[in-house]
Structure 1
């Protein structure tokens, strides 16, 4: 998991450093954010001191009404040795007591010109993205008509070659060989490529090729939501493969169940076209259109009609 430090917020959101410069390398240990309202009244028993602290208009307005001794006491208790950072919103003036406490304890005190709700929302998204559950999988991730398709299978089965054909057909490569996956929500997986191999494809016999250089910036993208997994495997004559499409197979990645299909590989099969059609069919299913269910309904209707016809036969 990547480290997140106070200086990362300073750079990412272009905040103003007011005090506590020596603590810019303090690390965050969680993505939760706290707005210390009740703490300013003097109740610090359950103060979440290891969280990022955000002070908005309400908190600072109350703070200004405190006595001089109370301001020093609250500032001292807010700025602990483990508090990663304090952010003041709306570009408001920061009380000197808080600045002094932040400098004394080395707590980075930052200021943002934006509204509190906007600052909290952006900081939360940033921290949750970095602290999200993470894993890496062997495969190729491609954006096909807006569907994030990860192609898996044994080494040498043809994943990268299939991805290259898909790129030639106008789709976009996200990652080859290794896909880094983060769970950014309870049902949302985001796939990215390791920086070392970003935009690169390994084709046996050719070596490493740069997809963006060859096909342009429109042929790649930095990240994509993972929607569908297609596993390629060598054709097994003894195995029964799904021929209708009624079976709903899934694969569990971190805590999310992702729809999965198994496509057998044999000479003469155009895998790129098959995977492209599979992605398009997946989109239709999400819109409530299923060719397999339509075929099943037709078959059931025809069987019922034939039974009725048999029942009306007059044997006399």
Structure 2
């Protein structure tokens, strides 16, 4: 899991540092944020002090109505040794008592010109992305007709060569060899390439090739949501392979179950075309068109019809 510090927010969201500069390297340990309205009113029993604190128009207006002693007491309680910082929205003037308490405790106070809801949304998305569960998988990730297809299989089975053919057919490479995957939602997996091998493909016999240099910027993507897994394996004559598409296998990555298809590899099979069609068929299923189920129903109707004619 990546470390996030208050300084990262200052740099990313162009926030203005108002006070507490000694604490800009404080670590943010959770993606949750807080609007400390109850605490400003004096109720600190459940104060989530480890969260980033957001102060909007409502909170600042309430602070301004407190007596000087109340302001001083509550601002000091808000500024703890683990509080990563405060963000005051709408360019509202920061109360003097908060500035003083933050300087004394070394808690950064930052100002943003944007509305409170906008600030909360942007910072929450950023933190959730940073703190999302993470893993890495050996494989290739390609964007095919808008479908993120993760190609897996044993080393040497032809994953990279298949990806190269897919890129030649107009699709986009996301990652080769190692795919970094983070879970950004309960059912959303985002894949990207490690920085060291971004936009690179390893082709045995040729070595490392730069896909963006060879095929242009339109041949690569930095990240893509993973929707489908295609597992390549050497053809086993003794193994039964699904011929209708009725069997829906799954592959679990972190906490998400993804549809998975196993494609046997042998000479004469155009894997790029097969995977391309698999991606198109997946899109059709999402649109409510399941060819395998339609064929199965058609077959059942024919069998029922022949059975009825036989006994008439």
TM-score by length of 2: 0.99
Q: Does 1:47 align with 2:40?
A: no
Q: Report what 1:262 is aligned to.
A: 262
SS at match of 2:130: helix
Q: Report what 2:292 is aligned to.
A: 292
Question: Offset at 1:45?
Answer: 1.4
**Distance (whole Å) between structure 2 residues aligned to residue 144 and residue 222 of structure 1:** 14
Q: Report what 1:280 is aligned to.
A: 280
Q: Which runs of 5+ in 2 are unaligned?
A: none
Q: Which runs of 5+ in 1 are unaligned?
A: none
Question: Offset at 1:89?
Answer: 0.4
**Distance (whole Å) between structure 1 residues aligned to residue 140 and residue 235 of structure 2:** 20
The size of the alignment, in residue pairs, is 312
**Distance (whole Å) between structure 2 residues aligned to residue 166 and residue 22 of structure 1:** 52
Q: After the TM superposition, which parts of structure 1 deviate over 2 Å for at least 4 consecutive aligned residues?
A: none
Q: Report what 1:81 is aligned to.
A: 81
SS at match of 1:31: coil
Q: Report what 1:149 is aligned to.
A: 149
Q: Does 1:112 align with 2:105?
A: no
Could you list the per-position Cα deviations for residues 203-222 of structure 1 after superposition, in whole angstroms to 9, with x for gaps in the alignment?
A: 11111111111111110011
SS at match of 1:244: coil
Could you list the per-position Cα deviations for residues 215-265 of structure 1 after superposition, in whole angstroms to 9, with x for gaps in the alignment?
A: 111100111001000000000000000000000100110001000000000
RMSD between aligned residues: 0.6
Q: Report what 1:36 is aligned to.
A: 36
Question: Offset at 1:10?
Answer: 0.5
**Distance (whole Å) between structure 2 residues aligned to residue 301 and residue 259 of structure 1:** 28
Question: Offset at 1:82?
Answer: 0.6
SS at match of 2:74: helix
SS at match of 2:28: coil
Question: Offset at 1:303?
Answer: 0.7
**Distance (whole Å) between structure 1 residues aligned to residue 37 and residue 258 of structure 2:** 41
**Distance (whole Å) between structure 2 residues aligned to residue 22 and residue 175 of structure 1:** 40
Question: Offset at 1:20?
Answer: 1.0
**Distance (whole Å) between structure 1 residues aligned to residue 101 and residue 299 of structure 2:** 77
**Distance (whole Å) between structure 2 residues aligned to residue 91 and residue 2 of structure 1:** 30
Question: Offset at 1:22?
Answer: 1.4
Q: Report what 1:18 is aligned to.
A: 18
Q: Report what 1:3 is aligned to.
A: 3
**Distance (whole Å) between structure 1 residues aligned to residue 213 and residue 80 of structure 2:** 50
Question: Offset at 1:3?
Answer: 0.7
287-296 or 236-245, which moves further after superposition? 287-296
SS at match of 2:47: coil
Q: Report what 1:93 is aligned to.
A: 93
Q: Does 1:161 align with 2:161?
A: yes
Q: Does 1:227 align with 2:224?
A: no
**Distance (whole Å) between structure 2 residues aligned to residue 78 and residue 55 of structure 1:** 12
**Distance (whole Å) between structure 2 residues aligned to residue 111 and residue 169 of structure 1:** 49
**Distance (whole Å) between structure 2 residues aligned to residue 148 and residue 201 of structure 1:** 17
**Distance (whole Å) between structure 1 residues aligned to residue 202 and residue 104 of structure 2:** 54
Question: Offset at 1:73?
Answer: 0.7
Question: Offset at 1:153?
Answer: 0.2
Question: Offset at 1:309?
Answer: 1.2
Could you list the per-position Cα deviations for residues 271-290 of structure 1 after superposition, in whole angstroms to 9, with x for gaps in the alignment?
A: 00000000000110111111
Question: Offset at 1:42?
Answer: 1.1
**Distance (whole Å) between structure 2 residues aligned to residue 141 and residue 19 of structure 1:** 45
**Distance (whole Å) between structure 1 residues aligned to residue 276 and residue 199 of structure 2:** 20
SS at match of 1:122: helix
**Distance (whole Å) between structure 1 residues aligned to residue 240 and residue 295 of structure 2:** 20
**Distance (whole Å) between structure 2 residues aligned to residue 206 and residue 101 of structure 1:** 63
Q: Report what 1:304 is aligned to.
A: 304
